[in-house]
Amino acid sequence: MPETDTAAQPSTPAAGGTGSPPAFADAVRDETSLRRFLHGLPGVDAVGLEQRAAGLATRSIKKDSKLWAIDTAISMVDLTTLEGADTEGKVRTLCAKGRRPDPEHPDVPRVAAICVYPDMVATAVAALGDSGVGVASVATAFPSGRSSLRVKLADTAYAVETGATEIDMVIDRGAFLSGRYGQVFDEIRQVKAACGTAHLKVILETGELATPDNVRRASWLGLLAGGDFIKTSTGKVSPAATLPVTHVMLQAVHDWHAATGELRGVKPAGGIRTTKDAIRYLVAVHEVAGPAWLDPHLFRFGASSLLNDLLMQRRTQLQGHYSGPDYVTVD
């Protein structure tokens, strides 16, 4: 079957999954409306944005509020392995870690999800059992997204069929940057339909979008098309998540909620390695989006090494002295 057919089709809001809310029915009527809407969003001044992000990053989170932040951050981690060298053994170890991050401290919350490639979904599902930890799978020709829609949909379907509860898709950055917003919109729509009940996270790959204006437009595009989450990065492109970019996305879900009453989530991924970083993100969540977003249903960290630093800092907080890397498990 030739692939050109789908891209050429006009967007149809009723394509399945979450339809665009009535507030934005006009915005997604056709390619022209969509373009007009996205380009009509207020601009983002890069310097002002960075200044605000840097200002908020000076918040000093201590004592109880720090411990709360650490536990909240742990519960928001999508513990991730996305390597060509991934094996079932590696995935099982990661799942064990996600279920019980600190074996000596059972009160440590479990992580939100384990994030793997589609062929590892079944292994993760089996390893996690009824722990409540979700299984997220990247899909849609991750990380570049350079394949046919048919392959992307098949990739998604494979992950969902093998038990993924969350799908992390990539948008077609090439299409976005050349202004083919309708095509990106349609792809997200169709992937969303292929997800069924699985949650959809839409990876914008902000490092390739380059400007905060593009990030804002792509965020709204992802929300309009029905993404449950908008996610910064694949982790394979530098820069990955940054605080200013996350600010723009948090502002977008905040504004989306103000306009529609719907709560959508944000997931920064890549480059967040320390507790200090994570707390800065949580402060941004708290003060830019709002306290309601301090919840794993609405905010996630895509990370691998972050978890151990959180665990180490947690011990430090509780024990009153600095901990060391040998007291947390290497997985």
Concerning whether 107 is annotated as a catalytic residue, the answer is no
Binds another protein by CB under 8 A, chosen from 45, 83, 104, 262: 45
CA dist., res. 153 & res. 142, Å (int): 12
Nearest CB to another protein, comparing residues 9 and 65: 65
Answer yes or no: are the C-beta atoms of 192 and 200 closer than 8 Å.
yes
60 SS3 class: coil
- Supply the minimum distance, in Å, between the C-beta of residue 292 and another protein: 10
Segment lying near another protein (by CB under 8 A), choices 36-44, 77-85, 162-170, 303-311: 36-44
Residues in 202-241 at the binding interface with another protein, rule: CB under 8 A: 210-211
Number of residues that bind another protein (CB under 8 A): 31
Concerning whether 62 is annotated as a catalytic residue, the answer is no
Binds another protein by CB under 8 A, chosen from 28, 69, 167, 215: 69
CA dist., res. 256 & res. 202, Å (int): 15
Binds another protein by CB under 8 A, chosen from 114, 230, 282, 310: 282
Binds another protein by CB under 8 A, chosen from 9, 12, 32, 51: 51
Position 286 contacts another protein (CB under 8 A) = yes
Q: Which of 229, 209, 240, 234 is nearest to 293 (CA)?
A: 229
Q: Which two tokens stand for residue 251?
A: 């502002």
Q: Which of 155, 175, 156 is nearest to 221 (CA)?
A: 175
Tokens 């306009």 -> residue? 259
- What is the number of other CB atoms lying within 10 angstroms of the CB of residue 321? 6
Tokens 């840097």 -> residue? 54
Position 52 contacts another protein (CB under 8 A) = yes
Q: Which residues in this chain contact another protein in the complex, by CB under 8 A?
A: 42-52, 58-66, 68-69, 72, 210-211, 251, 282, 286-287, 291, 294
